[in-house]
Amino acid sequence: MSDKQSSIEVQAMKMLADDDFLALDSRLNRPNVFEAVNLGHAEIRHSAFLAWLLNPSNPHGLGDLFIRRLLAELFEENPSGGFASLAADDLTELKVVRESESNIDLLIRTQDNRLVVCVENKIFSGLHDRQLDRYHRYAEHMYGEYRYRLYVLLTPAGYEPPDEQSENPSVWLPFSYSSLAEVMESLIPYANGRARICIEDYISLLKKENIMEDDELDELASKLYGRYRGVFDLVNERCAGQAGVAGYLRGIYLSVLNEYKKSGRFSDCVPLDFTGVYLSFHTAGMDAYLHNDRSRAGTWGNPSDTYHYWVYPTLLKPTIKLELGPFGQPSDVIQAMESLRRVAKARNPEISPDSHYRVVKSIPARIDETETVNADDVDVEGVKNKLRKALDNMLDFEKKTLDELGVIPVAQ
């Protein structure tokens, strides 16, 4: 063992007993109810929790305090709106609607004609298809007689909508998750016991998922890096190599998926998230069977697919999965999903519109690059062939399943 390796091992052992490291480890591994339900970056679930807190009739003990504090903060950041008096009003008759009115993430309105608030929630997905204009037109048409009509774009950084995504960008009030967390922290003393824990867990998740800044976490990380630079540099060197391999594999996988799309075997294939870790594809046959018209909100947001085939992470050792998205789907789609689940002999429970994710088939790709550090060491053709075999097996499964369901094949 070299002197350098020996020194790094000594540093690593010291770090494991360091109070700051133990504090950081405790923070990152603290039980959190929102991590247990995989809230993460799922905008639809963030919106659901915010809607629960905003509804004065829900059993959180806050009444209408959240909306009044939120209005006060919005006015402080955007004082030209003239709605400051609402923060002192009685808003206990508030109604909160999620994604059922023109697919608006959150629509908050009073029972009289005082206030309507339209919230578009974006975490790591971007604006698309001039959706802000659609929401604005809808709210103005439906609630044009309301005295105060507020349009809020909620994002991690609180950015303003780009001109190309809205014909009236100045109408939308930018609001950040950091500002939202400040409002929520001010609610904690007034919430009941269980709601207080939920709010604390939610703010903790925002920090841990880097949806908002966390100065305390940054300071702890900076201190530890200063003391144990050699350990972190070694870990970073090794992990950066693995990240490079994962990125290289992603390119290989996409080339194969596009090859299948070009041949007509897939109807589309895309990286679903901004990191490109989740690679999805669809087929004409399953699109038709599961009515995948993407006209509704569902499990994966708005608009949403009714299902995905995945090249499922980790990209270093992927699996091909067929996953259904039942949440919010109509009865005919739910019935089709349940029939598919039964024919596939999946062991998971019966499907309902309240289910979120439901994997019904998994096929290992037999690709394992978990020990590969250098992308140059990847056997490109070998990886492609293994992925093709797994994809072919999944397509064979689809054909047999749809045949058994009596589905007439869709012309490719």
Mean pLDDT of 67-75: 91
pLDDT tens track for 85-119: 787 888 889 999 887 777 889 999 998 889 999 99
pLDDT of residue 218: 66
Concatenated DSSP letters of 127-183: P-TTHHHHHHHHHHHHHTTSSEEEEEEEESS-PPPPGGG-S-GGGEEEEEHHHHHHH
Q: How confident is the model at residue 269 (pLDDT cuts 50, 70, 90)?
A: confident
Contact predicate 197/204, CB 8 Å: no
Tell me how far CA of residue 125 lies from CA of 198, 231, 278, in angstroms: 25, 34, 13
With 90 as the cut, is the pLDDT of residue 166 above it? no
Burial class (CB in 10 A: 0-12, 13-18, 19+), 95: middle
Choose between 217 and 296: higher pLDDT: 296
CA dihedral 189, 194, 197, 201 (to 10 degrees): -130
Query: pLDDT > 90: what percent of the chain?
Result: 40
Instruction: Detail the DSSP E strand segments found in 162-267.
Output: 172-176
Q: What whole-number distance in Å separates Cα of residue 1 and Cα of residue 262?
A: 53
**pLDDT for position 234:** 63
Window from 37-41, 109-113, 132-136, 346-350 with minimum mean pLDDT: 37-41
DSSP string, 363-390: EE-----TT---GGG--HHHHHHHHHHH
Which tens digits make up the pLDDT trace of 16-41?
777 777 776 666 666 655 555 455 55
Q: Does the reported pTM lie above 0.85?
A: no
**pLDDT surpasses 80 at 155:** yes
Strand (E) positions, 48-126? 95-97, 106-109, 115-121
Angle at 281 between CA 276 and CA 286, to 5 degrees: 155
Per-residue pLDDT averaged across 378-405, rounded? 95
